[in-house]
Every structure is written in C-alpha cells, then in structure tokens.
Amino acid sequence: MNILCQRAAGLFVYAVATVKYLGKAFYLPDKQLEAIVNFPDSTGYEGKTSLDPLYLWILGETFRVDDPVVCAKIRTIIGAVVLLVNPLPPSGIAELVGLETRDVLPFLTSVQSLLVLDEDPIQPVKPFHKSFPDFITDPSRCADTRFYISPEHPHFQLVTNCLRVMNDRLEQDLLLLPDYALNSEVDDLEARIGDRVSAALRYACQPWYHHLTVTTGDMTDAISCLRVFLEEKFLVWLEVASVLGFMRGAVSALERLVS
C-alpha cells in the first residue's frame, strides 16, 4: 500500500487505474498486485506525472508482442479511441477502421483498465483519463514505439476511413423519407435514423473534415476517395446531415475543406 501510494503521488486516477487493472477478468488479483508492485520505477517522466510508467507498464504487460502487424492493429484501435472527436462503441470503431467487432473487442478488453469500456456493447469507448491520450501521443513520454501513436498518421487513416464508410454506405433516399416532407413532419425519424444510419456512418458524416484538416503530409491516397464523395455522394450526405441536425456543421466542413 505504501508503494502504491508513493507512486500515485496524490493522483486518484492512478489508484483507480490500478484497481481496474487488478480486477481484470481471467487473472488472479494477487498475481497482478505482485507484478504491479514490482514493476520498475520510471526514471524519465516521473517528475511530471506518475501515471506514465503505469501506462507504459500495463501496455507492455498486456501486449507482449513484436509482430509488426499486431502492433499496427493495436495502434489503429487505440488511436481511434483517443483521437475520435466523438467516442464510438466497439462495433462503431470496428466498422470505421475496417475490422470486425470480434477482432476489436479483445484489444479493448485487454486494456480496459485504461479505458471506459461498458458491459453494454452499444455504449461508447473512451479513455479513462485525459492523461492517457496525452501520454500515448507524446514520443517523449511513450518511449515504446510499439504503442506510440503519431497523431498525423491516425488522422489520415480516420479521414480515409470516414470517406470509405460514406462512399460505401450512403445511397439515394437512404432513410426512405416521404417526398417533400419536412424533418419535423416525419414522426418516426429517429427510428429511421437508428435503423439506417450506423454509429460509424453517423460519425463519418460529421467530423470527417476535422481529421482531414489536421492531417499533414502526402494526401494523395485520400484524393480519390474525396473525389468519389464529392461527385457521387454529396447530395445524399446533405440529406443525412440534415436529419442529424448537422447542416451548420456541413457548411463549416465545406469551408474548411475549400481552404
């Protein structure tokens, strides 16, 4: 207890993350406690926050792999959690990044001590504390390259995935709305949205432009997706933006896209 209190340095979030880690399913708590008490102290960033060594140790113990494919998948999934403008449920994350839910869930469950992961599968997944996104996107703090997420590339991945989802899923009269009807005149509008617009598509239709405008570097691979969107899906996107109450945001999206 003294060791844990000293490492927590007054940060309640350290205590909560530790308890969540000890309570991971399929692991004996006493073995987890022994491991967490004996993990090496940090020598680099302890002065600013005692959470960094805890985060790094949990990631290292959870993912003891050097497979580049697996490590890339870890960064893709966790990167989506920490960089999404609005959080998504596991199924939404899976659809957005082009994976199956059964492929995403084990990764999320493995690090649930660092996330808010509800037993209800439709609830969004969020970082447990703001310090975790700050840590994992800072190379001076996340020293293990297997887990470090450089924001530029994930944002590029996210805008490409948003455009892919919209290009694949948007279709004319997607919500089967009555001709010339105002949104307020459609009694079951929310039910139609729930049935026809998935969580990933709802996300893709809204902050896709944010990921585009914060991306740096070569955008060539995204241009073809953007061209298809503007030439073939633009009017359908406006319809969906309308029923989602996003028309003001759509104007902002186009203004930022032009610039």
Find out whether 113 and 25 touch, Cβ atoms under 8 Å: no
Residues of the chain with pLDDT > 70: what percent?
93
- Show the tokens assigned to 236: 């359908």
| pLDDT at residue 216 is higher than 80 | no
> Any idea how long the chain is?
259
Segments of 109-199 assigned E as strands: 115-116, 126-127
- Confidence grade of residue 111 (pLDDT, cut at 50, 70, 90): confident
Stronger pLDDT, 87 or 17, i.e. the higher one: 87
pTM score, two decimals? 0.80
| pLDDT at residue 44 is higher than 80 | no
CA distance 248 to 211: 18
Question: Which pLDDT tens digit goes with each residue over 64-78?
Answer: 878 888 888 999 999
Question: Which pLDDT tens digit goes with each residue over 4-32?
Answer: 787 776 777 777 778 877 776 566 778 77
Beta partners for 116?
A: 126
Q: State in Å, rounded, how far the first CA of the chain is from the last one.
A: 55
